[in-house]
C-alpha cells in the first residue's frame, strides 16, 4: 500500500494513520489526501493553488521535490494542479 506517501511531495509520512479523518476544521483538505507534517504546516489554511504558487516562489527545494514527484504521476487532481502551476510564469 502506497497510501503513506505525502500527496504533495511524495515523502513517506511518519506515523501515518492519524492523518486522515481527524477533526480538522478545514474539511475540504480531506479530499486532497494525506500530507506530511511539513507540507501540512507549510500549507496551513491556504487552498492548494494558493499554496503551490507560494511554494514555487518561496520554497524552491520543496517545489522541486513536488514537481519531481508529480512528474512521475499521470493524473489526479493534485498532479494536474502542480503541472498547471509549474507552467505559470
Contact footprint for Zn ion (CB under 5 A): 6, 8-9, 36, 39
If the CB atoms of residues 45 and 89 are measured against Zn ion, the closer one turns out to be 45
If the CB atoms of residues 31 and 89 are measured against Zn ion, the closer one turns out to be 31
If the CB atoms of residues 14 and 28 are measured against Zn ion, the closer one turns out to be 14
Which one, of 31, 39, 44, lies nearest residue 10 by Cα?
39
Contacts 24+ apart (CB under 8 A), 63-67: 65/9, 65/10, 65/11, 66/8, 66/9, 66/10
Q: Where are the beta strands (DSSP E) in the chain?
A: none
Amino acid at each position: 500500500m502506497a497510501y503513506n506517501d505525502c500527496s504533495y511531495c511524495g515523502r513517506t509520512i511518519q506515523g501515518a494513520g492519524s492523518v486522515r479523518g481527524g477533526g480538522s476544521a478545514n474539511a475540504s483538505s480531506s479530499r486532497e489526501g494525506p500530507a506530511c507534517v511539513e507540507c501540512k504546516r507549510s500549507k496551513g489554511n491556504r487552498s492548494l493553488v494558493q499554496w503551490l504558487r507560494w511554494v514555487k516562489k518561496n520554497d524552491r527545494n520543496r517545489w522541486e521535490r513536488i514537481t519531481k514527484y508529480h512528474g512521475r504521476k499521470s493524473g489526479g487532481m493534485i498532479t494536474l494542479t502542480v503541472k498547471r502551476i509549474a507552467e505559470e510564469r
